[in-house]
Chains A and B, each alone.
Chain A
Amino acid sequence: MTSATQQAIDAVWRVESARLIAGLARVVSDVGLAEDLAQDALVAALEQWPESGVPDNPGAWLMAVARRRGVDTIRRAVTLQSKVELLGREFSDHQTPMDEIEFDPHVEDDVLRLMFTACHSVLSVEARVALTLRMVAGLSTEEIARAFLVQTTTMAARITRAKKALTEANVPFEVPVGEELADRLSSVLEAVYLVFNEGYTATGGGQWARAELCQEAMRLGRMLAALAAGESETHALVALMEIQASRLRARTGPDGEIVTLDKQNRARWDRLLITHGLAALDRAEELGGTGSYAIQAKIAACHARAPRAEDTDWVRIASLYGDLVVLTRSPIVELNRAVAVSMADGPAAGLAVTDGLLDVAALRNYHLLPSVRGDLLAKLGRSMEARAEFERAAELTSNEAERAHLLARASSS
């Protein structure tokens, strides 16, 4: 096969697979089976298109093949007799000319149903991520495995288990309504943000695969924001991811070392992503904008809006962290608030915030608490106390480079 045809098929798959799988899932009411049928159609395309050329309407071609396979598969499965009747009826009801399938008005709703099903809360977040990348983003199992640094066989098994779990739990192919919606939506958003963070924060693996993961996550987020446009948090997550990603090329130095926000060359920030992200944040705020992603996006936006590090609105950031603490009740968020308060009102004010964290059990062995306190005490000229905090932080960290850095600060205090 020529690589040009292979690339064309990859591209068609990228464009069509989510709508194909989603459309099939509506008919067969089983996303696992829908995905298998779509894969069968892809195999048929790989066999036939190199000879015949890519058809004029590749999406309709794939759908027609997958539907034929669906009828065959289900006819063979005697126990699914009722589904055959259902399928037969669906097909006779939908005498759609092939070239109209692509702009079927139901299809986008189906893609949203697919996202909700792939991210159902019966699945672990890792399983949700794998299914979403496979079925919604159209990545191959190999690509997903490479991005998450696991063996292809491991990832394939995870996907198979997840599909089986959905079938066994009899998860309906639908967008939840009413009270269930908020919970189910947060389970989708969590999976998308995990994909993003895997790309954004992980240090291992090829740089290429990492940047790709961020892009996949942003794309999934934008799809969700377009399809569930009335939900504030979908726009907020897009804003958060895009504003963070705008700094990707400024946050590593020539030797791959991390460049902190205050030292980044802001001219290297991706203005297009910032503009798009800030517009998404505006939409989130119009729709309420009080959720956890919205607050985090507002904090990210404070940095994005500052032309220079010293222009940063730390008063607002400190106040936003206060909102986030109320929402999450997380002591780690409170520690972040302490840093923001120190930037806004000086080290003494920040230190007072950290005093309130000294008795929190969850932070007892968390090296960043003494590290932040050491930094604030050093700024206040309380060097003996600063040294003790840095030494304690050095004891607690498991990262060698960080320990060396902390010990250096201890001895210079």
Chain B
Amino acid sequence: MKVMVLGKATERSEAGEFGTAEEFAAMDLFNEKLVEAGVVLAGDGLQPTSKGKRVAFDADGNTTVIDGPFAETKELVAGFSIWEVASMDEAVEWVKRSPLRNCEVELRKVLDAEDFAESFGAEIAAAEQQLRTEPAANQ
């Protein structure tokens, strides 16, 4: 299964600080271990929210564009990866081995067919797949 790993923002990341050379080297080493274990599919860091945007939708679909920075630092995302692992526990084990300090990492399973089957029942999942398949068949 795929897990999205969300590195939460800190005051430092929001200030655009990249961390020290030592922190970088430790993180590189950790990332190397992940690649050598065949776990990593994608991943990158993000610019601070001062350079980001939000688009809000109202009930009628009207949009409002909001410029960063955004206030709630701990809820913001500073970087992400997508890992392929056998279980959420395995993802947790990997995160524990990272050299990060004074921050938080959030792990979220990427939805797959199994999840749809669990929450809606197999028939709805099949119907949903049918809906998705039909337009292609008519192309």
Residues of A in contact with B (beta carbons under 8 Å apart): 7-8, 10-12, 14-15, 18, 102-103, 108, 111, 208, 212, 215, 218-223, 226-227, 249, 253-255, 259, 263-268, 272-273, 275-276, 308
Q: Give Cα A227–Cα B36 distance, bound, in whole angstroms.
A: 6
Complex Cα–Cα for A265 and B128 (A)? 13
Pull 8 A–B residue pairs with CB atoms less than 8 Å apart, ordered by A.
A11-B90, A15-B37, A103-B33, A222-B39, A223-B38, A253-B130, A265-B133, A265-B135
Contact A226 B133 (CB under 8 A): no
Q: Is the CB of B38 within 8 A of A220?
A: yes
Q: Quick one: which of B36, B42, B82, B129 contacts A254, CB cutoff 8 A?
A: B129
B103 at the interface (CB under 8 A from A): no
Select which of A218, A221, A267, A276 is within 8 A of B42 by beta carbon: A276
Contact check, A219 vs B41: say whether CB atoms are below 8 A apart: no
**Is B92 an interface residue, CB under 8 A from the partner?**
yes
Decide if B136 is an interface residue (CB 8 Å cutoff).
Answer: yes
CB pair A254–B93 under 8 Å, yes or no, is: no
B contact residues around A249 at 8 Å (CB): 112-113
In this complex, the interface size class of chain B, counting residues with CB under 8 Å from chain A, is 35 or more
Are B133 and A253 in contact, with the CB atoms below 8 A? yes
Q: Taking chain A's interface residues, is the majority helix, strand, or loop, or is none over half, making it mixed?
A: helix
* Contact of B132 with A267 in the complex, beta carbons under 8 Å: yes
Question: Which residues of B42-80 have CB atoms within 8 Å of chain A's CB atoms?
Answer: 42
State whether A11 touches B84 (Cβ < 8 A): no
* Cβ of B83 to closest chain A Cβ, rounded Å: 10
Q: Please indicate the chain A residues that have their CB under 8 angstroms from the CB of B15 in the complex.
A: none
Asked if B137 is at the interface (CB within 8 A of a chain A CB), the reply is yes
Q: A15-B94, A263-B137, A265-B136 are in contact. Are A7 and B38 (CB under 8 A)?
A: no
Q: A14-B93, A15-B93 are in contact. Are A265 and B132 (CB under 8 A)?
A: yes
Please tell me if the beta carbons of B136 and A272 are within 8 angstroms of each other in the complex.
no
**B89 within 8 Å of A (CB atoms):** yes
- Contact between chains at A264 and B136 (CB < 8 Å): yes
Q: What 18 new A-B contacts, CB under 8 Å, besides A14-B87, A103-B33, A108-B36?
A: A8-B93, A11-B87, A12-B93, A14-B93, A15-B93, A215-B84, A218-B38, A218-B84, A222-B40, A223-B36, A249-B112, A253-B129, A253-B130, A259-B133, A263-B137, A272-B2, A272-B41, A272-B42
Of B33, B41, B93, B130, the residue contacting A276 (CB under 8 A) is: B41
Q: A215-B84, A254-B126, A268-B132 are in contact. Are A10 and B89 (CB under 8 A)?
A: yes
**Residue B35 lies at the interface, judged by CB distance under 8 Å to chain A:** yes
Q: Give min CB distance, B76 to chain A, whole Å.
A: 23
A206 to chain B, nearest CB (A): 12
Which residue in chain A gives the minimum CB-CB distance to B127? Answer: A254
Given A15, A220, A253, which contacts B90 in the complex, CB threshold below 8 Å? A15
Within 8 A of A (CB), among B94-139: 94, 97, 112-114, 126-127, 129-130, 132-133, 135-137, 139
What is the chain A residue whose CB lies nearest that of B1? A215
**Most chain B C-beta atoms within 10 Å of own C-beta, residue among A7, A254, A308:** A254
B27 within 8 A of A: no
Measured CA separation A152–B133 after assembly (Å): 38
Residues on A with C-beta less than 8 A from B33 are 103
Query: Considering the chains assembled together, what is the distance between the CA atoms of A223 and B84 in angstroms?
Result: 12
A69–B103 CA distance with the chains assembled, in angstroms: 39
Residue of A nearest to B40 (CB): A222
The listed residue with most A CB atoms (<10 A of its CB), out of B42, B89, B129, is B89
Contacts of B2 in A (CB 8 A): 272
Contact A7 B133 (CB under 8 A): no
* Pairwise interchain contact A14-B90, C-beta atoms closer than 8 A: yes
Beyond A10-B87, A11-B92, A272-B82, whether A222 also contacts B38 by CB under 8 A is yes
Most buried by B among A215, A273, A308: A215
